[in-house]
A and B are shown apart, each in its own frame.
Chain A
Amino acid sequence: MASSDPSRPASAGLYGRIPPAPGPAGMAARLLELADELRGEGMAVGTSELMDAFAALGHVSWTGREDFFEALAATLAKSQDDRRVLEVVFDRFFFRAAEREAVERGVREGPGREGGDADAAELDFESLRERIRDTLRDANAPEGQLRDLARLAIAAFGRQGEGSGVIGVDVQRIRRTLGLRGEQAGAELPEPDAVPRERLREFEQLVRRELERALIERTEALPPAKPLHELDRALPTGPAQDLAAVHRVVAQLRRRLATQGRENRGRSRSSAIDVRRTMRASLQTGGVPLDLKYRPKRPRRPELLVLCDVSTSVTSASVFFLSVLHTLHDSFRKLRSFVFVERISEVTEVFERERSFEAVSRAIAGDAGVADISGYTDYGRVWLEFLDKVVDDLDPRSTVIVLGDARTNGREPHAAAFGLISERAGRTFWMNPEPKLYWNYGDSVMQVYEPYCTGVFECWTTKQLEGFVNAIADLRPVRTGA
């Protein structure tokens, strides 16, 4: 840690020196900086959006944070995701701007801070815990009160001398020391210690803020701005994940699938003329068929055969993927799912019966008959068994999807059998839950199977998953890996 260097000039922030100039001109410069940061996070903020933002800001008061933010959100953020990004970046940006200003002018929190410490000294941990819990449960508690409590918590925690110096770690330690737990979604009974999740997140945010503030004050420099994490978009990894939240994401996907085919209209319209409708339309023009009516193009409804590796390394990705597909089952004409570790078994029924993620995981581990085996994947054997089971069902209209990391544990990959499967099936896709970087390292034999696949995909974020579902539904051209 570059902890304390009192000889350092107060203005040597990492941001160089942009002179603070209050008033409209300075504001414009700030907004442009903000827009730059937003672009850095992948939002498309064009000049026309910025002009709109300026025009909108001319109509709202700048004193209220709400109105100011909403005006920016209405003009700059053009989707729900964008709005979330804007929220985070907006907070971070203006927090940093204020702190930089404070460092430059040498403003410190003297007496107020000490007052807080004195207050904290009187509080023992137990009663502080009670107060924080009560405040978190009270939905109407003002933010200021929560912030004060956050400071008290930091002060009390600091006296124990456990600060790790890494803010994220400290936040979690403080939370644990205080014994705060979020309510489990879908819990039948209210737990005595739990507090609403949302509020707990708010509190953690405040603690983080205050820790950052203290750090900036100590070091008199701004830490470098970090880009947002991709993490919140990653696939759920624990079986405790709430399937409801996932289903909500998937509902979106489903509607897109249900309305597919529309993109294929226009230029690539099917050439079959609907004679009846053309004649009907020609009545309007005195029997002359001026307007040709075409038969609508039916969207492709693929038959899917899904094979999922459920060995420990990829279980959660597999079960998640299967449940997504089953949520989408009405987009497909036929859907059969298989899971395998060393041997293969069909689990189509399990998904028809169960709705919750946990029940499905349990059923697959228990009833489906893959649990009794060593736990080492044997891809070669799986292909042979799969061929044996479904060879008659494979035809050019069927699509085979394999989800697995292609780690054979050193056993024979039987690529020829896989080749036979892909030859019989219309299309074969491989989804690998590992990042591409790790493919073909160690016992991964991805390159053996890749030539037989119509496409191979990475699959560890919802975005990649959506890209894949689009691909199998023929929404966009498929990247061919063969």
Chain B
Amino acid sequence: MSSELQSIEETRAGLERAGYLADESTALVSFLAGQLGKPVLVEGPAGVGKTELAKALARATGRKLVRLQCYEGLDEAKALYEWNYRKQLLRIQVEASDAGWQEVRDDIFGEEFLLPRPLLSAISESEPVVLLIDEIDKTDQEFEAMLLEVLSDFQVSIPELGVVEATTHPLVLLTSNNSRELTEALKRRCLYLWLDYPALERELEIVRLHAPDLGDEVARKLVEVVHMVRGLDLKKPPSIAESIDWARALLLLGAEDVDQETLKQTMSVIVKHRTDLDLVAERVGVKLTDGLVGSKPAG
């Protein structure tokens, strides 16, 4: 059990110390996950800090982070465990001449020849860990079904070896970009957390936390511009990580103000599509010149 996170406030404070500003529901769900021992399914648009939440939780609780990145065609050999064929073959060849088959057979399906993959290593770890199953929506449904055993009972059945049960209780986070509907069975076993782009004030805090040297006024204006850009009809709206990158870029350039010129030069940090670039230059650039953004007129 996580001894560190005993209340919602403590969870929030812990996450903040780990460099993650959690809102009401994020703190509450993280806290409940620890208390109830249930996995958390985190959904939301790309770049709102889903993966970062898992990392921050690991830092806040002082646990190791085990990460399983999902992709198309991921199977249990890469996620759970695999027999080390080569080693088994070597073993058989070495012993072939004088040992009995029975003995060898018992031997080659021992733990020595098992290659633990992220899921198995997460539950067999002696210290409790944070297990991050990233982009679960990228896998197929069969894989999801396989996860059910791990997620609800924290155990893995290996036919040749028996059931490996968790000695410690991992804190499990699953993230999804919602590119396909996850199965009901999986959802039922999880707590649900929806992360969205943060409100202006919160994002300002986040930017300040990660780029503390940036002037207050510039930071505010930067966040306002980012919010305005997100309001446009873009192919890919800027993520939180990108606003932080932008803040750092402005810092490096020593920008005093976010005006049309600065925006034009550094826009590519937050906008990554050609058509989007044109749209942003046209819509936001004009507003900056007219002094409609920020407290004082620009340019």
Q: Which residues of A contact B (CB under 8 A)?
A: 44, 46, 48-49, 52, 55-56, 59-60, 66-67, 70-71, 73-75, 77-80, 83, 185-186, 190, 243-244, 247, 252, 255-256, 258-259, 262-263, 265-266, 284-286, 296, 355-356
Contacts and interface: CB of A to CB of B under 8 A. Distances in A.
B89 A286 contact: yes
B211 to A, nearest CB: 25
B232 interface: yes
27 contacts: A48-B188, A49-B188, A52-B36, A52-B191, A59-B35, A59-B36, A60-B32, A66-B24, A67-B28, A70-B24, A70-B29, A71-B32, A74-B29, A75-B32, A78-B190, A185-B231, A186-B231, A190-B292, A247-B233, A255-B178, A259-B138, A259-B179, A262-B72, A262-B140, A263-B180, A266-B140, A266-B141
Interface residues of B, number: 40
Nearest to A46: B188
A70 B25 contact: yes
Given A80-B43, A355-B233, A73 B24 contact: no
B28 A74 contact: yes
Contacts of A71: 28, 32
A46 B29 CA distance: 20
Contacts of B233: 243-244, 247, 355-356
B101 interface: no
Contact of B8 (A67, A262, A284): A67
Contact of B191 (A67, A74, A256): A74
A266 B193 CA distance: 30
A356 B179 CA distance: 25
A74 B118 CA distance: 26
Contacts of B141: 263, 266
Contacts of A244: 231-233
Contacts of B187: 78-79
B142 interface: yes
Contacts of A285: 85, 89
B246 to A, nearest CB: 22
Contacts of A186: 231
A67 B24 CA distance: 8
A219 B31 CA distance: 45
Contacts of A52: 36, 38, 191
A303 B230 CA distance: 32
Contacts of B31: 59
Interface in B162-194: 177-180, 184, 187-188, 190-194
B274 interface: no
A244 B230 CA distance: 10
B296 interface: no
A286 B138 CA distance: 32
A55 B36 contact: yes
Nearest to B237: A248
Given A56-B191, A60-B8, A259-B179, 12 more contacts: A59-B32, A70-B29, A74-B193, A78-B190, A244-B231, A255-B178, A259-B72, A262-B72, A266-B142, A285-B85, A296-B73, A355-B279
Interface string B129-171: 0000000011011100000000000000000000000000000
Interface in B226-249: 231-233
Contacts of B86: 284
Nearest to B287: A188
A83 B196 CA distance: 13
A45 to B, nearest CB: 10
Contacts of B231: 185-186, 244
Contacts of B179: 252, 255-256, 258-259
Nearest to A475: B180
Contact of B194 (A83, A256, A263, A266): A83
By Cβ-Cβ distance, the 9 closest A-B pairs, closest first, are A244-B233, A255-B179, A78-B187, A74-B191, A70-B25, A70-B28, A74-B29, A59-B35, A78-B192
Nearest to A254: B179
A70 B279 CA distance: 38
Nearest to B279: A355
Contact of B85 (A49, A258, A265, A284): A284
A256 B180 contact: yes
Interface in B259-289: 275, 279
A74 B32 contact: yes
A190 B141 CA distance: 49
Interface in B192-221: 192-194
A78 to B, nearest CB: 4
Contacts of A60: 8, 28, 32
Given A52-B191, A243-B233, A285-B85, A259 B180 contact: yes
Contacts of A259: 72, 137-138, 179-180
A71 B193 CA distance: 10
A243 B279 CA distance: 14
Contacts of A80: 43, 194
B46 to A, nearest CB: 10
Q: Could you say which of B32, B43, B138, B279 has the most chain A C-beta atoms within 10 Å of its C-beta?
A: B32
Contacts of B85: 284-286
Contacts of B191: 52, 56, 74-75
Nearest to B26: A70
Contacts of B180: 256, 259, 262-263
A256 B177 CA distance: 10
Contacts of A284: 85-86
A77 B192 contact: yes
Contacts of A67: 8, 24, 28
A129 to B, nearest CB: 25
Contacts of A256: 179-180
Nearest to A252: B178
A56 B31 CA distance: 10
A401 to B, nearest CB: 23
Nearest to A356: B233
A216 B184 CA distance: 40
A288 to B, nearest CB: 10
Contacts of A263: 140-141, 180
Contacts of A55: 36
